[in-house]
Structure 1
Amino acid sequence: MFYFAYGSNMLIARLAERVPSVRPAGRAWLVGHQLHFHLSGSDESGKCNVLHTGNDSDIVHGALYELDAERLDRLHAAEGPPYVFLELDVGTPDGVVRAATYRGRPEYLDDALVPFDWYRDFVTHGAREHGLPPDYVARLEGVTTWRDPDEQRAQHNRRILQHQATNVIRDPVRN
């Protein structure tokens, strides 16, 4: 199955922690949506969400992966109750494909939330890994953050940014 990642799961090392194997399939985009960091995480910081606007000029860029649909338990557990798992049409350089993704449930959204710096870094590093448009990456880099008060959690997550996953399947034709 195809999976569209638009937040921290764009970072290959982050997603590779959560699924048995990862096959990057290129960049993709979701039309009629805006990216917000307004989903309430279990750590009380803002996490990414795609908000449906219906406006074709609103586009969320992200990464497309091929994942084993039967082995997503850890990914679903990591995303947790704040998200619903659904399928949407996403654009790719080769045309439109149907891909699964996560969208925040309304009761978990709070526009006053701000992401931790390490979380925003997952998103920006992942965006650069997949060659997303430079102006989009620049907007992500401009997102206001705050320092995680739990230094142990922050250090753990910063290590993920440096990790080279071994369960990544590279298709030389695509990547």
Structure 2
Amino acid sequence: MPPVNSGHVILAGSRPRLPFRDTVEYFAYGANMSGRTLQKRGVHPIAVEPAQLPASWTLAFAHRGGYATLIEEPLKLGRSDHGPGRLYYPGPHGVLYTLTLTEFDQIASRETGYRTINLVVETSVGKQVAARAFQSQKLLRLRESLPPRQQYLDLMLHGAREHGLCDEYCRWLRAVPTIALGTPLGPEYFETESEALARLAAVSLAVAGGFWAAAHGSR
């Protein structure tokens, strides 16, 4: 059995624990739950532990392109029933990583359209831990939660199993409807506030241009 330190499982062969100021507690809930994803990004966690957010937080596939994000305020969540196949989960589970500041920055540089937030998670031993996570920038969030790509959900499920997240959460992930590999995404996957503002700006410019042309053409 690997040694335990403050509720965190220290990975075999991992680097020694660094001073607190040199590390970051990072809560992953999407593809970064999978060790495969972190390895591809050259990230090697110092410690790993299952964790969960309170029910005031909801995981939804409402980031541009159908990726996962965390939300607090009300949002149209698509399938609103509470049975299998729903596209959101209140009080989502995830993985709490202890990372160096450098490796956390490496992950952050790849999280396009997300911002870093501070929150408190509960670990598998009931400890409250302040952590960082990524949340969609408001302008890049969809109007509703939509089925994610199958390969993306596969990484989430792999990470959930890899780190021993609860059976109920794994069952929910398996039941989430998905978009098959190679299937084009519909326009609803890109209907964000930024797209709406861009269209409004384009229409405004066109109207202004029409008025300018009419005014100058009459001279």
TM-score by length of 1: 0.74
The 5 Å alignment of 1:72-91 reads: 72-80=104-112, 82-91=113-122
Higher relative contact order (CA closer than 8 Å, sequence separation 6+)? 1
The correspondence for 2:52, drawn from 24, 29, 34, is 29
Q: How many angstroms apart in 1 are the aligned matches of 2:145 and 2:161?
A: 27
Structure with greater proportional strand content: 1
Q: Does the CA-based 8 Å contact 1:24-1:63 persist in structure 2?
A: no
2:67 matched to 1:67? no
Give the C-alpha shift of residue 94 in structure 1: 4.4
Secondary structure class of the residue paired with 2:100: coil
2:78 matched to 1:47? no
Deviations 1:107-141 (A, max 9, x none): 21212643111100000111111111111111111
Secondary structure class of the residue paired with 2:152: helix
Give the C-alpha shift of residue 33 in structure 1: 0.7
Q: Which residue of 2 aligns with 1:100?
A: 132
The total of aligned residue pairs comes to: 143
Q: Gaps (5+ residues) in structure 2?
A: 1-23, 75-88, 184-219
Secondary structure class of the residue paired with 1:67: strand
Q: Gaps (5+ residues) in structure 1?
A: 151-175
Q: Which residue of 2 aligns with 1:143?
A: 176
- Poorly superposed stretches of 4+, deviation over 4 Å: none
TM-score by length of 2: 0.60
CA RMSD of aligned residues (A): 2.1
Q: Which residue of 1 aligns with 2:29?
A: 6
Aligned letter for 2:94? Answer: G
